[in-house]
Structure 1
């Protein structure tokens, strides 16, 4: 009974930590090269303020984290710029229809992924420079010191503010067993761990929904860190494992609705 109570209390402590970690900016990164990551998208509220990241996977759909709409205030997507001070709302802003994973309740329970159907097709052309990013078709094979990257407009320090210019940082993948152990074995299913542990690099508030990119493909979606603390090293950063949701994603992309 005592062991059960300890596990029960620990589970709720971790849920509280996760619930305070949402909306995750890039720590110890650098400004992204102009036009280098034109699949990146800014999720914005009704006041046209950045709240989360995302990434374009087809001319109709953006992928982001489901928890980015926990407040119900997500209202539009901005494409085609790395600088959020340079947004032409007539051409760069898209209204959206939200397609949350049907099993999503909160990030602590997993399934933290959402597709957003754009109100019109994104213009993939040399003029706009907007591009899509390919999704990884299989689970990551963890190699020693495998380095991936994550980008966003989030905080550059704990308790900071979002930034106008897109930032990117390299992060090492972390063995899932080691990651589970660091998180006291209370992580949800279908996650990938990278950065924030054994390194001074990772994501922070405002980066949620952005892609973890390995070998040019999106393998994860920024989900949560540890209680909004971005003073790494710390416990590993957590991403939703895209490979586990490919059938659901492909079904929506093919039907063009959810």
Structure 2
């Protein structure tokens, strides 16, 4: 009887809808230890809450809605969170226009308390050029430590990634009626590959360039009928440069 109750409990968890923002890596694979060395686990006092990516020795990019989780530190230099050492967050920066993820501007900069050493375990990722155009069906990657299927009870300890295709913006608008501006759509859309709850803030990587930030997706990730939505990094380059350069000026 106890086994039956346990099974019913798991079924309820699997069917129960969750908030649409965030990301799990669905139908992905483990990332090799010598690749994607820019990946960051954003954490609060209780552990991993979001993904992110290192763009300089002292700045990480993640999603603005991750600020609700009260992040206090980041983990760099390992794909296995069981082996994690933490670096404190000094300050967070969000665009002034940001209200909530569904309205756009879902991007945030984390200034680290120290400059991290770039080495064979920690590297930065290239950002796109201004005005970059994403081609429909372009192949990209997304990675994170989030859950791997609807109803999973915990995050993954090891970093996982999956390949996704860029989806035409006009088609994306037919699936998301209130699609915010300055976004890229990729993955999901019935492919059973993409993101879901648990790893917002991770990068959409195309040609080794972080072109997007995971923002939101549908609730039921394994059967997503709408595309996953990412903040378009190329639209925020001036803001990123202004914040990072201003802080360097104060040092």
Say if 1:40 and 1:56, in contact at 8 Å, map to a contact too.
yes
| 2:99 counterpart (92, 96, 105) | 105
Match of 2:113 in 1: 119
How far apart are the structure 2 equivalents of 1:77 and 1:152?
Answer: 14
Shift of 1:207: 1.6
Q: Which residue of 2 aligns with 1:9?
A: none
Which residue number corresponds to residue 194 of structure 2? 202
Which residues in structure 2 correspond to 1:236-255 (within 5 Å)?
Answer: 236-255=227-246
Contact 2:136–2:165 (Cα < 8 Å) also in 1 = no
Q: Distance in 2 between matches of 1:164 and 1:86?
A: 9
Deviation string 1:107-134 (CA, Å, 9 cap, x unpaired) is 11111000000000011023xx200001
Q: How many residues align?
A: 231
CA distance in 2, matches of 1:141, 1:20: 30
Task: Quote how far apart the aligned CAs of 1:233 are.
Answer: 4.1
Q: Is the 8 A contact 1:38 1:130 kept in 2?
A: yes
- The 5 A counterparts of 1:72-151 are 73-89=70-86, 93-126=87-120, 129-151=121-143
**SS class of match (1:82):** coil
Aligned residues: CA RMSD: 1.6
Contact 2:141–2:161 (CA under 8 A) maintained in structure 1: yes
Q: Give the corresponding residue for 1:216.
A: 208
Alpha-carbon separation, structure 2, partners of 1:96 and 1:158: 34
Shift of 1:21: 1.7
Structure 1 CA distance, aligned partners of 2:136 and 2:92?
Answer: 37
Distance in 1 separating the partners of 2:125 and 2:82 = 24
Q: Residue deviations 1:216-257, cap 9 Å, x none?
A: 10100000001x221234100000001111100011121226
- State the distance in 1 between where 2:106 and 2:211 align: 14
8 Å contact kept, 2:27–2:193: yes
The residue aligned with 2:48 is 50
Runs of 4+ in 1 over 6 A off after TM superposition: none
Q: Scaled by the length of structure 2, what TM-score is found? A: 0.88
Distance (whole Å) between structure 2 residues aligned to residue 82 and residue 165 of structure 1: 6
From 65, 68, 71, the equivalent of 1:70 is 68
Q: Secondary structure at the match of 1:56?
A: strand
Provide the secondary structure at the position in 1 that maps to 2:119.
coil
Which of 174, 193, 202 is the aligned partner of 1:181? 174
Give distance in 1, aligned partners of 2:194 and 2:136.
18
Deviations for 1:30-49, whole angstroms, at most 9, x for unmatched residues? 000112011000010112x1
Structure 1 unaligned blocks of 5 or more: 1-18
Name the residue aligned to 2:160: 167
CA contact (8 A) 1:23 1:51 kept: no
Q: Distance in 2 between matches of 1:138 and 1:232?
A: 34
Structure 2 match to 1:4: none
Residues 104 and 144 of structure 1, relative CA distance in 2, 3 Å threshold = closer
User: 1:165 and 1:101 mapped to 2: Cα distance?
Assistant: 31
